[in-house]
């Protein structure tokens, strides 16, 4: 993500080319503008369409100076929860099916300095750093032979890892993460 996508305003959204998400955030910002004057929020839309670009842009987004609010599809909540644990800039995670009033109540909690997660994934769905590394490499079109060399593992072991990661997202194959819900 380039700097022009993150404008220093009270509330921003990513990706900016997602018209419907940006429109929803503008409605939310009108309700928030009076009650949260000192906070800068960057709302991130995490779904099957934005998953690949999310991996490319997240490190820059986390350094933008905003409090990151991830609004995720239900399927990708384990990934959102992983970043919530690993990155202090992520202040809140909501499912995309949350109402505007639920988000506003959650942001009231964030304004007091606490982090909030709308729904916790079960222990079987928690991702490790290795899981995220494997997922990122796979989504960026990486080859299995490269992963075999890097991790010094057999092909069958890597296939087992892929299957385990897919199970954590409750899909049969990692390719299914890119299919819209």
Question: What are the tens digits of pLDDT across the range 122-181?
Answer: 778 899 999 998 898 888 877 888 888 887 888 898 899 999 999 999 999 988 898 886
Number of domains in the chain: 2
**Least confident span in 31-35, 39-43, 81-85, 92-96:** 31-35
Q: Are residues 29 and 109 in the same domain?
A: yes
pLDDT tens per residue across span 131-146: 998 898 888 877 888 8
**Residue whose pair of structure tokens reads 């998953």 in the numeric block:** 51
Q: Are residues 97 and 142 in the same domain?
A: no
Supply the CATH number for residue 66's domain. Answer: 3.40.50
The pLDDT score that the predictor gives to residue 119 is 75
| Residue closest to 40 by CA, chosen among 10, 20, 18 | 10
Q: Are residues 58 and 145 in the same domain?
A: no
The pLDDT score that the predictor gives to residue 166 is 93
What percent of the chain is predicted at pLDDT more than 90? 33
Domain residues for the domain of 149 are 127-178
Q: Are residues 25 and 110 in the same domain?
A: yes
Q: Are residues 32 and 113 in the same domain?
A: yes
Average pLDDT over residues 87-105: 90
Q: Is 20 exposed, middle or buried (0-12, 13-18, 19+ CB in 10 A)?
A: exposed
Q: Are residues 110 and 158 in the same domain?
A: no
């Amino acid at each position: 993500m380039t700097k022009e996508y993150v404008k220093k305003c009270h509330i921003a959204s990513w990706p900016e080319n997602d018209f419907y998400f940006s429109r929803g955030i503008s409605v939310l910002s009108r309700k928030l503008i009076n009650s949260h004057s000192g906070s800068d929020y960057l709302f991130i839309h995490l779904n099957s369409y934005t998953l690949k670009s999310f991996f490319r842009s997240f490190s820059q987004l986390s350094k933008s100076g905003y409090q990151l609010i991830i609004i995720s599809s239900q399927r990708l909540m384990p990934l959102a929860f992983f970043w919530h644990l690993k990155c202090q800039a992520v202040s809140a995670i909501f499912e995309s099916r949350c109402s505007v009033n639920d988000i506003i109540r959650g942001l009231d909690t964030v304004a007091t300095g606490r982090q909030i997660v709308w729904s916790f994934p079960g222990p079987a769905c928690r991702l490790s750093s290795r899981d995220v590394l494997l997922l990122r490499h796979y989504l960026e079109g990486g080859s299995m032979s490269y992963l075999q060399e890097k991790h010094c593992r057999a092909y069958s072991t890597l296939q087992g890892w892929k299957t385990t990661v897919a199970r954590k997202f409750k899909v049969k194959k990692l390719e299914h993460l890119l299919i819209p819900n």
